[in-house]
């Protein structure tokens, strides 16, 4: 698929529920219950709109969703945001789409008054490329919570200052 026809959209569609679940599962990095959670965030956005606190960016290539991100403000903070999800279809990985998707999301967060973006990910070896991706995109590892997800599965917390 050519990157020449890349478009970002922020409107959320009913069809995105299934697309998000498919993309998350296709990465082979998440359990089915995690894909269900990702899809539930789309449903919540469709139900409640911006009041849901979930904002999406969908990267489309030639009219097909190739990746997406989901972010939102952190409750009880004045300028901190969570990046809840970012995932790119395996056949579209390795061509900079994830970096462009992340950059677009970071700009939107900064435009909304966000100053710090937090990302949580697993410390398992499977997630080494994910952690390297965030570090390459100027995120700093701020904390490690031992055995957070399960025994031997730490939570790594990254942050980036924007705006």
Chain length of the chain: 163
Place 1 in a pLDDT band, splitting at 50, 70 and 90: very low
- Write the DSSP string, 86-139: EEE-GGGTTSSHHHHHHHHHHHHHHHTT--EEEEEEE-SGGGHHHHHHHHHTT-
Least confident of 30-34, 40-44, 114-118, 141-145: 30-34
Q: Give residue 43's domain range.
A: 3-117
* Domain membership flag for residue 68: yes
- Within 13 A of 35's CA, how many CA atoms are on the CB side? 17
**Tens digits of per-residue pLDDT, 83-113?**
999 999 999 999 999 999 999 999 999 999 9
* Domain membership flag for residue 159: no
* Domain membership flag for residue 151: no
* Domain membership flag for residue 80: yes
DSSP 74: P
CATH code where residue 27 lies: 3.40.630.30
Q: Is the pTM of this model over 0.75?
A: yes
* Domain membership flag for residue 137: no
Answer yes or no: is pLDDT of 3 > 70: no
CA 142/CA 61 separation, integer angstroms: 34
* Domain membership flag for residue 86: yes
Q: Contact at 8 Å (CB) between 68 and 85? A: yes
CA 114 to chain centre: 16
According to the model, what pLDDT value does residue 4 have?
Answer: 59
SS3 10: coil
SS3 65: strand
- The number of domains in the chain is 1
* Domain membership flag for residue 33: yes
According to the model, what pLDDT value does residue 163 have?
Answer: 81
* Domain membership flag for residue 122: no
- Within 13 A of 124's CA, how many CA atoms are on the CB side? 11
């Amino acid at each position: 698929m050519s990157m020449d026809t890349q478009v970002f959209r922020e409107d959320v569609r009913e069809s995105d529920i299934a697309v998000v679940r498919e993309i998350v599962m296709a990465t082979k990095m998440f359990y089915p219950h995690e894909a269900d959670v990702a899809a539930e965030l789309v449903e919540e956005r469709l139900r409640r709109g911006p009041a849901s606190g979930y904002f999406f960016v969908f990267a489309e290539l030639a009219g097909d969703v190739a990746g997406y991100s989901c972010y939102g403000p952190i409750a009880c903070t004045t300028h901190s945001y969570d990046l809840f999800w970012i995932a790119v279809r395996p056949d579209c990985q390795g061509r900079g789409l994830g970096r462009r998707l992340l950059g677009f999301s970071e700009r939107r967060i900064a435009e909304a008054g966000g100053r710090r973006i937090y990302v949580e990910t697993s410390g398992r070896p499977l997630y080494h490329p994910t952690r390297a991706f965030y570090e390459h995109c100027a995120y700093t590892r701020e904390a490690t919570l031992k055995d957070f997800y399960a025994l031997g599965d730490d939570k790594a917390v990254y942050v980036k200052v924007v705006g």
